[in-house]
């Protein structure tokens, strides 16, 4: 039997209910389903053949994508919110789209980031972005940036981020960065509220290595909205393309233009 893993947060009763209802329908089609609560359950015992179905908003999808990426599995993004820039499956189509996904292997490969920190064994993953940001409110952080071995700029700012095309509609967009087509092989370097320096983004090819060096103050490292570590002055983060992408199921088109229009009109972006 085909295997499917629904993922949701425990406080989303609508997602839990949808998983139960869809699971019953899919069982009649010969599909084994399980529900994994992202904030409660331990890592599920599944493998690359399992279809991961994210039920929720963008935050749910980011956690689900991390899980799927670690397994080498595909992930299907179901939208249970009003607007999800990363989500393209409406909740009333979850059964039909899951069946479609299980019958084929249509995927869009989304660039992910591999994050490492000097002087440590830390290696982390991000689908949207990684940010080196100030450790204390009311202070700036000074970050010297390099692209490969070429020194770029030193920013005094609230933070400096490296975003993927997938993440370009998130924090990067809020910080004034460009919206980038999700399939382009690039990374985006964007300062967050820079002080007395250039405030433009730089877009580089995804085969580059970007280095963010904390200059004279400690900083914290945030990946996809989660604190993953800290930097002492002189330490740096290296960001490169992950050797394996996130495999997002492509059951329908992703109309970025209309989603941006809706988000700007509703004040979500």
Residues belonging to the active site: 58
CB 243 within 8 A of CB 113: no
Residue with structure tokens 């929720």?
A: 56
Q: How far apart are CA 58 and CA 256, in angstroms?
A: 15
CA distances from 92 to 4, 37, 88 (A): 17, 21, 12
CA distance 239 to 165: 14
| Residue 135 CB partners (closer than 8 Å, separation 6+) | 141, 217, 218, 219, 220, 230
Give the integer Cα–Cα distance in Å for 183 and 211. 23
- Are the beta carbons of 73 and 49 closer than 8 angstroms? yes
How far apart (Å, rounded) are the C-alpha atoms in residues 81 and 56? 7
Shortest CA distance to 179 belongs to which of 166, 160, 192, 189? 166
> Which letter does DSSP use for residue 234 in this model?
T
Cβ atoms of 69 and 125 within 8 Å: the answer is: yes
């Amino acid at each position: 039997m085909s295997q499917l893993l629904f993922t949701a947060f425990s406080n989303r009763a609508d997602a839990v209910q949808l998983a139960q209802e869809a699971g019953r329908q899919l069982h009649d089609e010969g599909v084994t389903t399980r529900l994994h609560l992202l904030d409660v359950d331990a890592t599920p015992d599944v493998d690359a053949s399992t279809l991961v179905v994210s039920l929720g908003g963008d935050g749910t999808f980011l956690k689900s994508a991390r899980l799927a990426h670690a397994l080498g599995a595909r992930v299907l993004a179901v939208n249970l919110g009003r607007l999800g820039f990363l989500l393209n499956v409406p909740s009333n189509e979850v059964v039909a789209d899951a069946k479609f996904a299980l019958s084929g292997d249509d995927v869009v490969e989304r660039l992910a980031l591999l994050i490492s920190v000097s002087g440590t064994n830390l290696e982390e993953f991000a689908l949207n972005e990684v940010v080196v940001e100030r450790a204390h409110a009311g202070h700036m952080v000074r970050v010297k940036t390099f692209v490969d071995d070429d020194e770029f700029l030193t920013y005094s700012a609230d933070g400096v981020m490296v975003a993927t095309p997938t993440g370009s509609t998130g924090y990067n967009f809020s910080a004034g960065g460009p919206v980038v087509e999700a399939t382009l092989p690039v990374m985006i370097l964007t300062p967050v509220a820079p002080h007395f320096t250039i405030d433009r983004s730089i877009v580089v090819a995804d085969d580059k290595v970007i280095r963010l060096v904390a200059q004279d103050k400690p900083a914290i490292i945030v990946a996809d909205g989660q604190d993953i570590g800290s930097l002492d002055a002189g330490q740096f983060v290296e960001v490169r393309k992950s050797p394996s992408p996130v495999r997002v199921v492509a059951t329908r088109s992703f109309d970025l233009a209309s989603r941006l229009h809706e988000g700007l009109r509703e004040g979500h972006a």
